[in-house]
Structure 1
């Protein structure tokens, strides 16, 4: 144990630390070394980014990097560990190492001294990918309802791919051949190795913030399982789900299926297929427009022909071919009905006229005018403005003023006296009998 450790074990007091009593560098370095020694031996997983193996040296120097974060750790080991590895180790290899951290107090650096190195095989990588796939599926990140629709004709396409790669060339060539006016915002990043995920995440965030970018394409050519590992990274998958811009995944070839294909809004089998999916084919669209225009014109002509035939059929009907025919026929019928109605009216008027004449003759026969015309008279006694018909000799005493109405007028007279009829008609004198006969006539 160190001197400080002995002091701590024996219960010696640690010197107070303050501005007046600062610790010297050696004390701090020793304390850090003590704390790191307490960690003991550990297993660490990472990706080899640098490897310095010089002939004749007893120590090999490596840099082990976290594939999902911009963090690295210095590693030292016996060169024979690298030479005797069952799988050749090189920069980019995924490994699991066992060793102990050491703090070099002279330089103030930390290094991991390893005594065992195990390359991570393809089977183990695939098993980890499957476990991550099950986790993301359980969280619902593969749900089709989360997929954002890709616009029919994007204004600007964001492209994340390797610099001067075949994937970049395929996407640009095919897209511009299909739609020459398409615009691209290209972000070149590493597409494999330990720096791929941080660079892709940075480019993805920058394109997602740009309001002019309507769709983002992740494009990479084919490769081994190790080469495509960055596109199955958990951080990248979650960043794709969190993005607001639709993302198209075009990684590898048709058999390749990294996890970003499952969380992306659209999966393309190849970069060429992605170019065909993000922009329409101008020639095909023009042909479609021409076809729809021809179909619309044919439909319009067909509709006009059908309506023309319907109008011709309507015009050929008798009611439209000779519209006055029914009017003429109805005119004859109306004239016949009018004559019949007049005949009936004349007959009715004649019958009623005859009835009226008979009633008039009856009224004339029984009326007072006819009686007066036969020589009778109506005698009225005048008393002031009142007139009373004289029905007996008592109604006209002597001296009464009388009004005698005859057939052609009236005579004013005065009653000189009265005479009662006491004799029968048979005993009356010749003059009275003549008067009675005249009255009966």
Structure 2
């Protein structure tokens, strides 16, 4: 039987003081590899946990410190004298950017606990990032509908066959189109998107096919159309159901012949373009009513992917919300925030008529309005609806609520011993970490 290899934990001390250096022997004895550097070099050093001795020079000009913390992937602990905590801006900055803080003089036992918890969070974050990197980054979600979409994208992407993406507005149809392009052999070529419903009718032909100089009033120079710009790559026709009937014939001709003519030209240009389309309307009904050509419908609808509305995949809401919180945190200049329990409950009960686009907008709003460390339901513009009439929620809602309640209760009792918390719930520690992250509890 072989002895297990001890895990090396890396601690970086930034701008350390004499007292910080005095901690090194006991930390090294506890299994930490301790290094030190100045603030300017901190980003070039890798570590699990960082400890920075905050001094007057840091706090009078926070920008260099904020720059480093916003780009670091480590967990950070602030070390400072108690008098600095009298300043509101210092307290706000620590709450915003640090995992924990410690006032001098050091309590070595408390320091050991703090950096141990920070190390656990650092490892948790790194595992989550590794898991995410193995998936299609654009297609966020572990629900059955999203797993099915991911499977279809993997099958359809390598082909040149047209794909029609169906679904309500805001469900992420363009995201799927980009994923199909990124996984195809055309990935290094252009991806060109055009919203057929957003273009004035008199300009759509020019936008799609281009025009020659002088082809019509205002055509002062030659214009390359979207189809020609996509040559070798992918053309995404969003809201294809809104394409005027007279333009549908021209598009059908291109799909059949793979040639185009610019407006005002008789020269035929050969094009190698894969066409993806999307619509939120009932195209079959449009065909029956005569507003959409049946032959074009069959040309475009060879393969099909359906995007489920968000209300049918509520289990994906925590993942999507967390993703948007990270994405938009840069706009606010603030660290990504987690969501409170009431915010998560409100999001799980909301019907999401605007789908993912609405969720994205609400999270962006929440990041701006949040005053504490967490985003609350009111920051999202959502309220908890208490129903005295015994309204029945979806099974998915009850499962998520029960899962979150069990995690919250066990964390109250065993917050300092996650292994014991996992054992009480009868699950492995990795599964316990995954569930904690899924529900944004830590």
- Which of the pair has the greater relative contact order for Cα pairs under 8 Å at 6+ separation? 2
Bin the TM-score by the shorter chain. Answer: under 0.3
TM-score, normalization: structure 1? 0.19
Q: Which has the higher helix share?
A: 2
Q: Which has the higher strand share?
A: 1
TM-score, normalization: structure 2? 0.19
